[in-house]
Amino acid sequence: MFSRDKSSDQEIQGVVIPRAEHGISRDDISDNALKVLYRLNKAGFQAYLVGGCVRDLMLGLHPKDFDVVTDATPEQIKGLFRNCRLIGRRFRLAHIVFGREIIEVATFRGHHADGGNEDPDGNDKKALGKQDEHGQLLRDNVFGSIEEDAERRDFTFNAMYYSVADFAVTDFANGIDAIQKREVRLIGDPETRYREDPVRMLRAVRFAVKLNMTISKPTATPIKSLAHLLGNIPAARLFEETLKLFLSGQGEATFLMLREYGLLTPLFPQLESLIRDENSREMQFIRAVLRNTDDRINNDQRVTPAFLYAALLWYPLEEQSQKLQAESGLNAHDALNIAMGEVISRQTKHIMIPKRFSTVMRDIWILQQRLPKRFGRRAFQLLTHPKFRAGYDFLAVRGQIEGGEVLELADWWTQFQQADNGKQKQMLKTLRQREGGDKPKPRRRRRKSPNKQADHD
């Protein structure tokens, strides 16, 4: 079971940084987080802000979330807050709800088997903590001291604790040095920590990009050889992690670093052969979509994971659809429908895609097949499609990368949307003349049979 790597030259020691030396002000802290801290302190418990919020405050950034850690158990926390709900099995946590803001409160974590089989409250550590054969933590509700909790943190800059009792920051893993040198460093033995929770490899990349840091050599070295362990992570959890990776406003840079460390293959195995070449159309298309997504997020515009996943899986879909047409003689429409189900099914074995997003992905893909068909009333009907805009935006990015007929088609739709009704009709007439008609055939009038005519008479 987990214990600190005794051979590590990194000792966990708390260094107190007084208020005058760290620059964190209560004005920058959520009022609700302060309420939680003060109430826990008043009830006789230790309570600290911890992790990313302290790190970001030290960097002069504005945290999105404020997490609290305490020596109170989840049940004791619930007893103090009527607006509290307990969640989680792997990690038992308290969520204290203030309208739209949730303050997450965790109890100090301890080591599973160091110094006996019981935690300070007399609970059986073996019952509270569990690992699988790879060393991955499946259950982790062993409680301990603040020193043990700091040791259990993942990265050094996340083991800093801010107290409202004296307004000091206690730095247990020299996180200040990591911040000053702009390095992402794991606490303890990197291989052991990655085996405990392989998602830490994704977090290392995300923090490096988000904070404009580098991953220290000891922290980076095991990643490629252990990347396959992401296959042990539940697909639902990886969906949430990929949202953090790609919808943070730095998705393109994150994608490139994931590729550098071999972390894309366990997440998107269907992309492996398509993105080996930096200059391939597949790579350029994904980068263009991520770049556009980053721009939208950084300009406070809405984005949907469906568009991103549709882009990531577009060329695997196109390849599978063409394969089905060649091998089974299916028409393009049927081949696309079958390929969509197969591609999404393969992907959801690794990353779950909720139906509300996979349905939109299918709409975007189907529109790529429908948008070239513009004659008659079709063009006007397509403009009213609920997902027309997403399908058009998707086509526009394809046009930027693929050029040729795809770019010409995207430009046509750009003009068609902006034109008035008279101009739209003229565009359709010109298109029909240029492409040879495709006029609808006149309906054949059915001849009445003689018998029916006689009966009528």
- pLDDT single digits (tens) 295-309: 999 999 999 999 999
Q: Which of 154, 197, 294, 363 is catalytic?
A: 154
Q: Is 300 noted as a catalytic residue in this protein? A: no
As a whole number of angstroms, the distance between CA 297 and CA 355 comes to 23
For residue 117, count other CB atoms closer than 10 A to its CB. Answer: 11
- pLDDT single digits (tens) 11-35: 567 899 999 999 899 999 999 999 9
CB 71 within 8 A of CB 119: no
Q: What is the pLDDT of residue 410?
A: 97
Domain spans of the chain, in order of start: 9-109+144-181, 282-434
Average pLDDT over residues 99-124: 71
Q: What is the pLDDT of residue 88?
A: 85
As a whole number of angstroms, the distance between CA 76 and CA 94 comes to 10
Q: Which of 130-134, 355-359, 419-423 is least confident? A: 130-134
Q: What is the pLDDT of residue 142?
A: 82
Residue 344 has pLDDT above 50, yes or no: yes
Average pLDDT over residues 66-73: 97
CB 136 within 8 A of CB 232: yes
Q: Which is nearest to 364 in space by CA: 296, 312, 411?
A: 312
CB 70 within 8 A of CB 48: yes
Average pLDDT over residues 362-387: 95
Residue 129 has pLDDT above 50, yes or no: no
Q: Which is nearest to 61 in space by CA: 151, 157, 202, 163?
A: 157
As a whole number of angstroms, the distance between CA 164 and CA 176 comes to 20
Which token pair is 66? 């404020």
Q: What is the CATH number of domain 282-434?
A: 1.10.3090.10
Average pLDDT over residues 180-205: 96
Q: Which is nearest to 109 in space by CA: 135, 139, 132?
A: 139
For residue 38, count other CB atoms closer than 10 A to its CB. Answer: 13
Higher pLDDT, 197 or 134: 197
Q: Is 5 noted as a catalytic residue in this protein? A: no
Q: How many residues does the chain have?
A: 457
Q: What is the pLDDT of residue 91?
A: 76
pLDDT-based confidence at 442, cuts 50/70/90?
low
For residue 393, count other CB atoms closer than 10 A to its CB. Answer: 15
Q: What is the pLDDT of residue 446?
A: 60
Q: Which is nearest to 207 in space by CA: 245, 255, 237, 162?
A: 245
As a whole number of angstroms, the distance between CA 266 and CA 264 comes to 6
Residue 379 has pLDDT above 80, yes or no: yes
For residue 93, count other CB atoms closer than 10 A to its CB. Answer: 17
Q: What is the pLDDT of residue 92?
A: 86
CA angle, corner 346, sides to 345 and 351, nearest 5? 90
Q: Which of 68-72, 366-370, 452-456 is least confident? A: 452-456
Output the average pLDDT for the chain: 89
Q: What is the pLDDT of residue 434?
A: 84
Q: Which of 5, 28, 65, 189 is catalytic?
A: 65
As a whole number of angstroms, the distance between CA 106 and CA 103 comes to 10
pLDDT-based confidence at 117, cuts 50/70/90?
very low
Residue 314 has pLDDT above 70, yes or no: yes
The type of residue at 434 is R
Residue 449 has pLDDT above 90, yes or no: no
Q: What is the pLDDT of residue 360?
A: 98
Please give the helix or strand (H or E) that residue 137 lies within, else none.
strand 137-140
Q: Which of 67, 71, 171, 294 is catalytic?
A: 67
Query: What is the pTM (predicted TM-score) of this model?
Result: 0.84
Q: Is 197 noted as a catalytic residue in this protein? A: no
As a whole number of angstroms, the distance between CA 72 and CA 105 comes to 9
List, as one string, the DSSP characters of 79-111: HH-TTEEEE-SSS-EEEEEETTEEEEEEEPB--
- pLDDT single digits (tens) 198-248: 999 999 999 999 999 999 999 999 999 999 999 999 999 999 999 999 999
User: Which overall architecture, per CATH, does domain 9-109+144-181 show?
Assistant: 2-Layer Sandwich (3.30)
pLDDT-based confidence at 131, cuts 50/70/90?
low
CB hemisphere CA count around 326 (13 angstroms): 6
279 CB-contact burial (10 Å; exposed 0-12 / middle 13-18 / buried 19+)? exposed
Residue 3 has pLDDT above 50, yes or no: no
CB 92 within 8 A of CB 105: no
Residues 6+ apart with CB under 8 A from 409: 371, 372, 395, 399
CB 70 within 8 A of CB 107: yes
Q: What percent of the chain has pLDDT over 70?
A: 86
As a whole number of angstroms, the distance between CA 223 and CA 231 comes to 14
